[in-house]
Structure formats: structure tokens, C-alpha cells
Amino acid sequence: MTHVSHVSGPFVPENSIKFLRLPAVCERTGLSRSQVYRLEAAGKFPRRVKLALSTSAWVEAEIQLWAADRIAASRGEA
């Protein structure tokens, strides 16, 4: 098995990237499946990463940043 630690974009240490599948994204954000997909389609939510032919996930750090932005916006800090 080939080990790839850098494909494109900025280098990120391989052990710092964590992918979240849809149920985990819904649990962490409080959004429903349809809300996640609707916001993503509107460009208001992080985009999925295609991991395999029928497998997609979100980057945990991007979900955390999105949540922090939502908190800041709701408190008038954005």
C-alpha cells in the first residue's frame, strides 16, 4: 500500500487530519442531513472530500472553523 502524506495544497502533517462522516458532522453541528447538503450547495458550509468511489467525508478542522464562525456571527463578532 502506498502511503501519501501530501497530495496538493499546503502541507499538513498526516496525523493532524481527521475526516468526519455525515452522522458525526450532524452530531457536532446540530444540523440535519438535508441542512448540511443544502448549506454546502449554497457555499455556506465546508465541502466534502471524496475519499473513495462511494465515500465522502468532511475535514474536522474545517467543520470546527465553520462552527467558530457561526458562534462569532451570532454574537456580532464577525
Could you read off the pLDDT of 29-70 as tens digits, one per residue? 999 999 999 999 999 999 999 999 999 999 999 999 999 999
Q: Does some domain include residue 10?
A: no
60 falls within a domain: yes
Angle at 36 between CA 59 and CA 17, to 5 degrees: 5
Strand partners, 56: 50
pLDDT of residue 78: 63
Residue 62 included in any domain: yes
pLDDT number for residue 64: 97
For residue 1, being part of any structural domain is answered with no
Residue 15's pLDDT band (cuts 50, 70, 90): low
Q: Count the alpha carbons within 13 Å of 55 in the hemisphere toward its beta carbon.
A: 5
Tell me the C-alpha distance between 48 and 29, whole Å. 15
36: domain range? 18-74
pTM of the shown model = 0.78
- Three-class secondary structure of residue 16 per DSSP: helix
Do the domain assignments include residue 12?
Answer: no
> Does the residue 50 lie in any domain?
yes
Q: Which of 75, 68, 61, 63 is nearest to 27 (CA)?
A: 63
Report yes or no on 61 lying in a domain: yes
Please indicate, yes or no, if residue 9 is contained in any of the structural domains. no
pLDDT value for 77: 79
Q: What total number of domains does the chain contain? A: 1
